[in-house]
Structure 1
Amino acid sequence: MANRVVVSQPGNMKPTFVPDQWNTGLFDCCDDFSSCCYHYWCFWCIACKTSEKYGECLCMPLVDFLGLGGSVPAFAMALRSDMRERYGIRGTMVEDFMFSSVFPACVYCQISRELKIRKQAVTFINTHHRSATLL
């Protein structure tokens, strides 16, 4: 009688996000419908909430709203640039400037989606079988 041990290893685990680029495009707001509606109906609320989730002051997007940064939404640009640096996302300051100046709502929406994707918990499943005996 021989004992046979069966051991299985999980396959390669792939991350749920692409590490060096944005996981959603600037105009992919409809990919997350609840966020899209929230952005549409209460843009400044979600901009402040996104800022807070990122670890910045809750009220910083209001600097852009009040125009204290000039004609460019300075905080949206800074937040997008910092997120690129933090996560190693490819891009340039020129892109951050252009997108934040022309599409600030889309920038906050993209940052919100990116935070959701990158903050998801990683789950590992162990399928190790102790032993199996054949009679």
Structure 2
Amino acid sequence: MYPTNSEYSQPAFGEPMPASAPPPYGQPAQAPYNQSVAPPPQSMMYPSQWSSGLCDCTSDVSNCCLTCWCPCIPFGQIAEILDKGTTSSAVHGALYTILLLLTGCQFIYSCSYRSKMRQQYMLPEEPCNDCLLHFCCEPCAMCQEYRELKHRGFDMSLGWHGNMERQNHHQAVVTPPYAPAGMKR
């Protein structure tokens, strides 16, 4: 006549919840596991502009020199950040160097990351196509990409994971603790 507690208990982790059973007492009703729930609305992203020009290489002389003399290092750092740490800067830099030494077509690899950066940050494709830009003036393009990521708050020497740890540490320090509204002193 009356349902038993076992009929309303939570299923084991990873098992689907029966569709006919109401939620346990005191818990909010949820959509069945097999139905998709719309994700929460996200803030609108608007197109932006590059923070510096293509030929502003002298605004960061150390990066300019490093990019001209050993482009695999800044490229690796740029690629690691754009890939969100899935591959290390050393691997990206090594691939770039291998392509440079064996084929001379490293610009194809590096232009793909410029395109990825433009998509992530909604940057315009200027002054020309990404591939043409990297073919004609790769050091200037990579310096601009490096400056753009620095302008957006990345410390290029830390890599993706180091930047995420730094960001989480700053958020933990800056964010005040949460207290429920009903609590009083």
SS in structure 2 at match of 1:103: helix
Query: What do the CA deviations read for 1:21-52 (whole angstroms, capped 9, x no partner)?
Result: 11111111111122122223322332223323
Gaps of 5+ in 1: 1-17, 123-135
Deviation at 1:61, TM superposition (A): 2.2
- Whether contact under 8 Å (2:78, 2:146) holds in the other structure is yes
Deviation at 1:20, TM superposition (A): 1.1
Q: Percent identity?
A: 29
2:117 corresponds to which of 83, 100, 106? 83
The CA distance in 2 between the partners of 1:24 and 1:67, in whole Å, is 32
Structure showing greater radius of gyration is 2
The CA distance in 2 between the partners of 1:48 and 1:38, in whole Å, is 12
How does 1:80-119 map onto structure 2 within 5 Å?
80-91=114-125, 95-119=129-153
- CA gap of 1:95–1:63, structure 2 versus 1, over 3 A, is farther
Deviation at 1:101, TM superposition (A): 0.7
- Whether contact under 8 Å (2:52, 2:148) holds in the other structure is yes
The CA distance in 2 between the partners of 1:20 and 1:65, in whole Å, is 32
2:61 corresponds to which residue? 33
2:97 corresponds to which residue? 62
- Whether contact under 8 Å (1:72, 1:100) holds in the other structure is no
Q: Which amino acid aligns with 2:79?
A: S
| TM-score for the superposition, normalised by structure 1 | 0.62
SS in structure 2 at match of 1:66: helix
The CA distance in 2 between the partners of 1:41 and 1:71, in whole Å, is 17
The CA distance in 1 between the partners of 2:118 and 2:98, in whole Å, is 21
- Whether contact under 8 Å (2:100, 2:106) holds in the other structure is no
- Whether contact under 8 Å (2:57, 2:140) holds in the other structure is yes
- Whether contact under 8 Å (1:27, 1:106) holds in the other structure is yes
Query: What do the CA deviations read for 1:62-88 (whole angstroms, capped 9, x no partner)?
Result: 3541354x7471111101111000001
Q: CA RMSD for the aligned pairs?
A: 3.0
| TM-score for the superposition, normalised by structure 2 | 0.47
